[in-house]
Amino acid sequence: MHVSLFFLSRGVFVQSYKQYINGKWVNSSSKKTFTSKNPANPKDVLGIFQEGSSSDVALAVAAAQKAFAQWREIPAPRRGDILLRVATLLRAEKKKLGALVTREMGKQYIEGLADIQEAIDVAEYMGSEGRRFFGSTTPSELPQKFCMTVRRPLGVVGLITPWNFPIAIPAWKIMAALICGNTCVLKPSSDTPLCALTYVQLLEKAGIPQGVVNVVTGDGSVVGDALVAHPHVRAISFTGSKDVGAHVLAHAGIKKVGLELGGKNAIIIMDDADLPLAVEGVLWGAFGTTGQRCTAASRVIVHKKVQKQFEHLLLKQVRGLQAGDGMRCNFGPLVNQAALEKTEKYVAIGLQEGATLLFGGKRISNKQGYFHEPTLFTRVHPSMRIAQEEIFGPVLSILTCTDLADAICIANNIEYGLSSALYTQNIRNAFLAIEHLDAGITYINSSTIGAEVHLPFGGVKKTGNGTREAGILGIDEFSEVKTVYIDYSGKLQKAQIDTFVQK
């Protein structure tokens, strides 16, 4: 990665980074830059980055188009070999990269390491997919005729990724796109550009040919919009907010679009649940990554018989969270000032709506970074905004239910449908929840977070538009299915007209 030193202020020098287009590290045509800061200490500037332009996007797409012709012809197992080399390089750099994730995004170090492990896992999974890449065969309705399907790449794909998994989510998208034979233009979040550029540097080291992966950094309204609207981009894969996802869908034109747009996920705790286990799951689901996950548990629907006991146990655990730099503490900052202000806004809304503040509710003013207390609301009505809208911060709403049917009704009464969880010892309740919860993911006796890369990830309703990432369905997102008929009868056979009569 080509970098240069830049004098910022107060005698501090920071590195200036370039974009990656057609196998070269280049400046933006806009000649503008932006900075990335440590959310635990905004005085800690990680670097200066290029403010990409629509011209940069055009150059990146042109490079990807040119590279596509050769990349698609490389046999999928050979493409997989390169992806497996990426996994090896990531494993060797795991601790260093995990610390970078913590410094640039803010999550605690063990979660930063997990971010890298996800990238390793998906590289290994998708690399191995190069030796499967399954189509299907089926009998023909006519004699001496063979039918099958094969997978074909889409072409140039645009990938727009968020900041909360700054290496894992780019890896999810890039690895699936590459094994299918596509070429890519990545637009990473402006909150975590260094993570994305560092990851792509490893792809370069692993042997990805020039032009196959390109990175344009900058503002979503410029770089993202140019990528979405570009006529030579055949597909867009976007992870982010519902409103921006709707914007992407409205402006993408006739191209394949995959959207993962967040959630308002619920953990249901029945009266027969293992309460200490449930509390552990709620603590991790609500306050892991400081609540900044699309799968975060922002609602707990607890049976009224065990509500007081549950709240007592949860409060004890929440009080043990230690806010600070993720390298030393287990409760990190929000990603930026806007996220902090949004969390404060929703705390005020919850109080105005009449919810009872059980714990927290304030920003942590004695810290340099964007810290907010872990916050618990109880006596929350399902119609309250704090129980309906995605906050993406450390705010948990506690609701009560009378039985499983009531809990499922409350859980489903939202516009999202990503993840869900149920704690119970009753196997019947478990299967009823699996059947009736409107969510793409359901956990039994576990939290709402913890996806595995060999299984599909995604949701229903306004969480997305039906696509899934990871697993075999991640291959579906980045490939097209071609149906093939081979007639070796030596004569013209007309399906639905000719009728074969066995002699």
292 contact partners, CB below 8 Å, separation of at least 6: 107, 164, 334, 335, 339, 392, 393
**3-state per-residue secondary structure call for 281-344:** HHHHHHHHHHHCCCCCEEEEEEECCCHHHHHHHHHHHHCCCCECCCCCCCECCCCCHHHHHHHH
Q: Which domains does the chain have, with CATH numbers?
A: 54-261+464-482 (3.40.605.10), 265-444 (3.40.309.10)
pLDDT higher than 90, residue 502? no
Q: Is the pLDDT of residue 491 over 90?
A: yes
Closest CA to 297 of 308, 306, 287: 287
Q: How many CB atoms lie within 10 A of CB 16?
A: 18
What pLDDT shows up at residue 503?
Answer: 47
Residues carrying an active site annotation: 260, 294
Residue 245: half-sphere exposure toward Cβ, Cα within 13 Å: 22
**Average pLDDT, integer, range 420-428:** 98
Is 80 exceeded by the pLDDT of residue 226? yes
End-to-end CA distance of the chain: 71
pLDDT tens column, 136-194 = 999 999 999 999 999 999 999 999 999 999 999 999 999 999 999 999 999 999 999 99
What percent of the chain clears pLDDT 70, i.e. is strictly above it?
97
Distance between CA atoms of residues 479 and 153, nearest Å: 5
> What are 443-479's pLDDT values in tens digits?
999 999 999 999 999 999 999 999 999 999 999 999 9
pLDDT reported for residue 13: 78
CB–CB of 214/20 below 8 Å? yes
Is the pTM value of this prediction over 0.75?
yes
DSSP per residue, 232-271: TEEEEEEES-HHHHHHHHHHS-SSEEEEE----EEEEE-T
Q: Yes or no: say if 315 and 377 are a contact pair by the CB < 8 Å rule.
A: no
Cβ(164)–Cβ(154) under 8 Å?
no
Condensed to tens digits (0 to 9), the pLDDT of residues 29-85 reads 999 999 999 999 999 999 999 999 999 999 999 999 999 999 999 999 999 999 999
User: Exposed, middle or buried by CB within 10 Å (0-12, 13-18, 19+), for 461?
Assistant: middle
Q: Per-residue pLDDT tens for 328-372?
A: 999 999 999 999 999 999 999 999 999 999 999 999 988 899 999
- pLDDT(384) > 90: yes
